[in-house]
Every structure is written in structure tokens, then in C-alpha cells.
């Protein structure tokens, strides 16, 4: 549905998600535009709710952010693309959601998480050795 300026309601709602995803990845509008092969002006207009992007741009944005187009357009609260949901079990879906959260972290925080995981793994191995369970 289009408003009186000819912009569809999905584009107006989408501006929130696009900007939020961009900021979580610590990207400028120009950086996102480069990543999805469009102009910075289009990103700016999408974030202000004044652009009605083509399907090809929506698909590239969804692929870049690892979400469904429906999620970008506020037509779904499920962010995982349908093809991923169909091909994974619940545990894998949970791991995938952690992966997406990990990708939103700064490089420094990503390194911290990896070091923490390594310490937990070593601690777990040490506990198994102490209890005699290899």
C-alpha cells in the first residue's frame, strides 16, 4: 500500500531495520551501498523512508544481513531465511542465531568470545581428566 507521496508502507517500516542492521555492523551508508552494489543515496533514501527499492536491492540486502526479505519489510518477525529454516534442525538453528549475533560484534569482542570459548573447552577437558572420564 502506498501513501500520498507514492511510497509503500513497507519501505517506511523497512527504514528502521536497514539502519539498525547497518549500525550493528558498524557500517557507513557508503559501506553498505558498496557491499550491496547500490548508491549511497539509495541507502540514505531507504533509511529515511523515501525510497521504494527494487526487488533486486531487497534481495541483496537480505542476503548481506542473512535475513529474509519479509523480515526486512516487517512482514515477518522470523529473521532466518526460509531456505535455512527448512534445511536445519533446532540445534543448528540455535547455533546459526548465535553466529548472526557473533557477526554483529566488533572484531575485538569477537576475539574475546573466541578466547572465552577456548578457555571453556580447556576447562571442560581438564575436568574430564580429573574425573577419569576421557
Closest to 49 measured CA to CA, from 1, 9, 107, 4? 9
- CA distance linking residue 16 with residue 38, whole number of Å: 19
Best CA proximity match to 17, nearest among 40, 53, 46, 60:
46
CATH class of 1-87: mainly alpha
Contacts of 23 (CB under 8 A, 6+ apart): none
Domain ranges of the chain: 1-87, 88-134
What percent of the chain is predicted at pLDDT more than 70?
77
Q: Which residues are registered as beta bridge partners of 8?
A: 2
- For the chain of 134 residues, list the mean pLDDT of each consecutive stretch of 10: 52 79 92 95 91 90 88 73 58 76 89 93 85 68
Please list, in sequence order, all residues whose beta carbon lies within 8 angstroms of the beta carbon of residue 55, skipping any fewer than 6 positions away: 69
55-65 vs 29-36: helix crossing angle, rounded to 10: 110
100 Cβ contact list (under 8 Å, min separation 6): 66, 79
Task: Name beta bridge partners: 2.
Answer: 8
Q: Express each pLDDT in 59-94 by its tens digit.
A: 999 989 988 888 888 777 666 665 555 555 666 777
**Model pTM?**
0.55
Amino acid at each position: 500500500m502506498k501513501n500520498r507521496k507514492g511510497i509503500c508502507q513497507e519501505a517506511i517500516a523497512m527504514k528502521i531495520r536497514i539502519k539498525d542492521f547497518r549500525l550493528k555492523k558498524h557500517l557507513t551508508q557508503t559501506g553498505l551501498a558498496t557491499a550491496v552494489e547500490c548508491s549511497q543515496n539509495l541507502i540514505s533514501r531507504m533509511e529515511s523512508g523515501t525510497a521504494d527499492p527494487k526487488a533486486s536491492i531487497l534481495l541483496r540486502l537480505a542476503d548481506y544481513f542473512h535475513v529474509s526479505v519479509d523480515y526486512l519489510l516487517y512482514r515477518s518477525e522470523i529473521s532466518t531465511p526460509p531456505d535455512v529454516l527448512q534445511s536445519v534442525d533446532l540445534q543448528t538453528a540455535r547455533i546459526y542465531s548465535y553466529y548472526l549475533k557473533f557477526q554483529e560484534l566488533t572484531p575485538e569482542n569477537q576475539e574475546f568470545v573466541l578466547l572465552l570459548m577456548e578457555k571453556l573447552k580447556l576447562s571442560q577437558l581438564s575436568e574430564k581428566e580429573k574425573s577419569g572420564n576421557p
